[in-house]
Structure 1
Amino acid sequence: MRLHRFKLVPYLPAMAFLVTCSAPQHPAHAPSADVHPVSLRPAVILRAGWHADEKDVRPGLVYDRSVRAVFVHHTDNPNDYDCKKDVPRMLVALEQRHIALGWDDLGYNFIVDRCGGIYEGRTGSAERDVRGAHSEGFNNDTVGIAALGNFGAGQKVPVPMLEAIAEIAAWKLDPDVNPLGKVRLVSSNNSSRYPKGTAVELNAISGHRDVYQTDCPGQALYNDLPWVRQAAARLREEAARDG
């Protein structure tokens, strides 16, 4: 499995950019055990590594007992950033933007950069199944992964970024969920594409637009999701073969 190498960089002033994804907040409950295979865990840059602003994060994490699906997003900011110099301040800006919207923390569980770096988003996501605020109506038992950039039609999604998304999906999806398969999820409110209580069959690795009125994660990244599914399935096969 590919390892991500990174160097911590000093904190820089936050840079504002647009965020196109939204979701509600939830009360906390007791955490469940982390059942995801250690052998599939990629290198993750934790919140301390990108100098997350912890002072405004509200207490009360919400833990789920499974991960049935992954939703892929993009953050809709420029793609020409420097992965070492710019990403930490961009993540702080993203966190501050989400908190300013009234959320209790950064909404995405993980963020990936164009060089393939994987960053812990919402507090605790690297260790537990923490409920994010990324796909309104479908936050329960899912993980939100945001690609740092804008990947609308005509853009090219870097291969290291796609590989990183696949690595998170292979690791975080429940062992009985096939990355190439479908899952049944139930909408939790009326703000998504589906009325509250509606059961929906979705790809285990889906785009945000599949459940919400948005173009997120951009047409280019959405078109690459079949590749991501294949890569995630291959990672699981390799891990099973290697024991």
Structure 2
Amino acid sequence: MNFSILYRVSFFSFLILFTFPLYSQLDDIGTTLDSEPRFTVRDSLEYLIYEGESPEFFQTVEGGAIDLVGQEIESVSFRLFDQSGAYKTIPGKIFNQPDLNKVVVTFLELIENVPARFSFKIVSEGNIEINSILIFPVDQEKPGRVRALEPTLGDISKPVIISREEWGAEDPKGSYSYHPYFDKLTLHHAACCSADDLEEGKTQVYWIQDFHQNGRGWNDIGYHFLVDRAGNIYQGRPETVIGAHVGGANTGNIGVCLLGCYHPPEASCFQTITPESRQSIVEIFSWVSDTYGQSPSVLLGHRDYFGTTACPGDNIWIELPRFKAEISDFIQSYFEMPLISIFQSPYPNPFSNQITLSFDLKKYMDFKINIFDLLGRQVNTIERTGAAPGRLFINWDGKNTDGKRLGSGVYFAKPVSSDKIDPIKVVLLKK
């Protein structure tokens, strides 16, 4: 059956042609074969039956997909045709995007006997829009190492990362292949999954992993890090292993995906980056650059490699020069940053029950602060073993080392590890 010609129009069967450009996360998993798919629709009273066919393709693939908009899809099946016309029927795997009315249906099958084509049959209770047809090329990468490269001794502290255990990651389906070198940094957008808080983020990152593993057939989630719109950073694959985010350029490439949709030419894809996301993108790429000896100047958007995608979207891609500058500035300012600095003045001051002292730490350390009275006598010491880099809050209840309340008056707090911070004056009042 040739789906490239017009069909007879009747009450039950008619030709539909939609034009919907592909800017979704599918850009990261496959190659668009047809962005203007033709298909027929039949009304079987209880269901609508959509049928169509891909163009011929001439390269070895390991599967394919159709990109839909709609709900209440009952089933999808694919027929894979070889040159003789013989076919094999495979059920489709249906993936409903977590925060949109979009659906991706995939099949996984190695097709080496080319040219080839496939048809699809969708049974749905409601109307759907078929946006595009994709194929999954076999990704040819340079062979990786059997063990991880040792990172350089970077000075920049790793930002807080939501671990795989915290977001409930599934185990990889097989062994990893490790980067033999590092020479690329890449920024993506998910074009979906616009999580605004941690719980949404965990759910959506898990969905992406499920889609990559079971819809695309990859070993694990394709990205090394993901950042939600609240600025939370999630560990994807370990950054020392080869990812699956830029087909043909994954070796030596550390990929970060920004949750959300940032390409205004596509409907409902008009978001702009939040300040929290921007800061986290700068911090994670700064840490990666310092730890693995990368220059921020090598940072690219996904579209900059082969020009087959809009990722990371116009609203992010235009920001890349600014990102590179901010990452470089962050690295430079980090080396100029004191080991310990005061974040804000003690509060409340004067106090009667408890006062909070806040500091910024440059790296992990055993933090200690001594409390002195007006005569210079040390009356208490507060310690935090293994304090993490970033914000540290220290509370003092106005008591000495024996747990006895001190008399009202002026006291001074002095971090032990810093000669650059003057003693901090605090005033204790009677209860």
TM range, smaller chain: 0.7 to 0.9
Q: Cα offset for 1:65?
A: 4.0
Distance 1:218 1:149 in 2: 10
Change (3 A) 1:157 1:82: closer
Partner of 1:211: 305
- Aligned AA (1:63): Y
Q: Cα offset for 1:73?
A: 0.5
Partner of 1:21: 28
1:168-207 alignment, distance < 5 Å: 168-173=284-289, 176-179=293-296, 181=297, 204-207=298-301
Partner of 2:185: 70
Residues 25, 191 of structure 2: 8 Å contact kept:
yes
Residues 25, 189 of structure 2: 8 Å contact kept:
no
Unaligned runs of 5+ in 1: 1-16, 182-203
Deviates more, 1:33-42 or 1:141-150: 33-42
Out of 139, 160, 173, the residue aligned to residue 276 of structure 2 is: 160
Q: Cα offset for 1:78?
A: 4.9
Residues 261, 313 of structure 2: 8 Å contact kept:
yes
Residues 169, 232 of structure 1: 8 Å contact kept:
yes
Q: Cα offset for 1:176?
A: 4.9
Partner of 1:42: 159
Root mean square deviation of aligned Cα? 2.2
Q: Cα offset for 1:93?
A: 0.7
Q: Cα offset for 1:209?
A: 0.3
Pair member with larger Rg: 2
Structure 2 counterpart SS, 1:103: coil
Change (3 A) 1:98 1:25: farther
Residues 25, 133 of structure 1: 8 Å contact kept:
no
Distance 1:38 1:102 in 2: 37
Residues 156, 286 of structure 2: 8 Å contact kept:
no
Q: Cα offset for 1:240?
A: 2.4
Mapped pair 1:111 → 2:220: no
Mapped pair 1:58 → 2:173: yes
Structure number with the higher helix fraction is 1
Greater relative contact order structure (CA < 8 Å, 6+ sep): 1
Partner of 1:150: 261
Q: Cα offset for 1:21?
A: 0.3
Unaligned runs of 5+ in 2: 1-23, 31-138, 265-269, 339-431
| TM-score with structure 2 setting the length | 0.43
* Number of corresponding residues: 197
Distance 1:214 1:139 in 2: 16
Deviates more, 1:130-139 or 1:34-43: 34-43
Structure 1 counterpart SS, 2:199: coil
CA shift digits 1:132-163 (9 cap, x unpaired): 11111111111110001101134311121122
Distance 1:98 1:83 in 2: 22
| TM-score with structure 1 setting the length | 0.74
Q: Cα offset for 1:84?
A: 2.4
In the TM superposition, structure 1's runs of 4+ consecutive aligned residues that sit over 6 Å from their partners are none
Distance 2:234 2:213 in 1: 18
